[in-house]
Amino acid sequence: MLPLFMRSIKFIVGLGFVFVLFLALIGTITGLIKEPPQATAEEEFHHHPKELALKSDGLLGKFDNQQLQRGFLVYEKVCASCHSLSLVSFRDLRQIGYSEAEVKKIAKDWPMKQPAQDPKAGTWGERDNLPSDRFPKVYYPGTGTPPDLSLMTKARHGGPAYVYSLLTGYEEKQPAELLARFPGAKTPEGSHFNPYFANLNIAMPPPLTSENQVTYSDGTRATVDQMAKDVSAFLVWTAEPTMQTRHQAGLAVVLFLLIATGLAYGAYLTVWRGVKH
């Protein structure tokens, strides 16, 4: 008798919990219907990345070494003082058309050096970069370190289009509609309004501000738009330098499978020719 009574109590308690959860669910749904959540400034005014077409796009895409070298120049002259490229070695630059001598010079002349220990004195100092070294990391002790750019086009939705949009998306002031609807969304002191950034305000000042910040050796006009496209293309390569080789290998495998399938089907027809089913 007692076990039956205990089971009944458990059943009633369980039904009570289910009933309470059901009431909570009904209350939540009713509240959302009566007072739907208000959109935030970020949701209303954040822009999706602009369209960006690169020669490396698609299964048949190939890297344009001239553009990659222009993009590296933009990184070197504009971005490298703040952003690391710590997953890339200097010698990797040979993949985009630089000679061994050029790579050695780039490594030796790089402003940031490699830490080195003096075995005799037991102290730490610096040495010139070697082609085998990775690009030195940029540190800002106590103030926060800007993100590393090695995998940036893989880490952000939109990839190169995001980078391009961010670099060309700075606006001198916020839209009047934004301030009218969201007075508390005013850009803080020391930040810059950029609708392509997640929270609309970014601490990084516009890095590309005028034409001819760099001088391209191939004669390409170094507009802000062109520099943004070139450095975006370069960061596609840093994130996946083997992409072109991988695409070529994949196409070769697909072609092999198609031929093998055709040969197998032909063999099937030959073997079973004349055999009645």
User: What's the pLDDT tens digit per position in 16-46?
Assistant: 778 778 777 777 777 656 665 566 878 888 9
Residue 216 and residue 162 in one domain: yes
CA-atom Rg of the chain in angstroms: 29
Residue 162 and residue 261 in one domain: no
* 180 in any annotated domain: yes
Asked if 194 and 170 touch (Cβ cutoff 8 Å), the reply is: yes
Residue 83 and residue 149 in one domain: yes
Residue-by-residue DSSP string for 51-81: P---TT-STT----HHHHHHHHHHIIIIITT
Asked if 74 and 85 touch (Cβ cutoff 8 Å), the reply is: no
184-192's contacts with Cβ under 8 Å and 24+ in sequence apart are: 185/41
Residue 255 and residue 160 in one domain: no
* Helix axes 224-239 and 160-168, enclosed angle (nearest 10): 150
* 170 in any annotated domain: yes
Residue 245 and residue 180 in one domain: no
Q: Which domain holds residue 265?
A: 241-271
Separation of alpha carbons 88 and 135, rounded Å: 6
Residue 172 and residue 219 in one domain: yes
Mean pLDDT computed over 176-201 = 91
* Segment of 176-185, 223-232, 265-274 carrying the highest mean pLDDT: 223-232
Give the per-residue pLDDT at 36.
59
Structure tokens at 11: 């059943």
Residue 218 and residue 256 in one domain: no
200-238 per-position pLDDT tens digit: 999 999 999 999 999 999 999 999 999 999 999 999 999
Residue 229 and residue 160 in one domain: yes
Q: Is 157 annotated as a binding residue?
A: no
Mean pLDDT computed over 183-195 = 91
* 200 in any annotated domain: yes
The count of structural domains within the chain is 2
Residue 186 and residue 224 in one domain: yes
Residue 158 and residue 260 in one domain: no
Mean pLDDT computed over 154-170 = 96
Q: Is 247 annotated as a binding residue?
A: no
Give the mean pLDDT of the chain: 89
Q: Is 83 annotated as a binding residue?
A: yes
* 70 in any annotated domain: yes
Give the per-residue pLDDT at 26.
76
Question: pLDDT at residue 171 above 70?
Answer: yes
Residue 152 and residue 245 in one domain: no
* 125 in any annotated domain: no
Give the per-residue pLDDT at 166.
98
Residue 233 and residue 247 in one domain: no
Q: Is 6 annotated as a binding residue?
A: no
169 pLDDT band, cuts 50/70/90, is: very high
* 4 in any annotated domain: no
Asked if 47 and 178 touch (Cβ cutoff 8 Å), the reply is: no
Structure tokens at 30: 């009713």
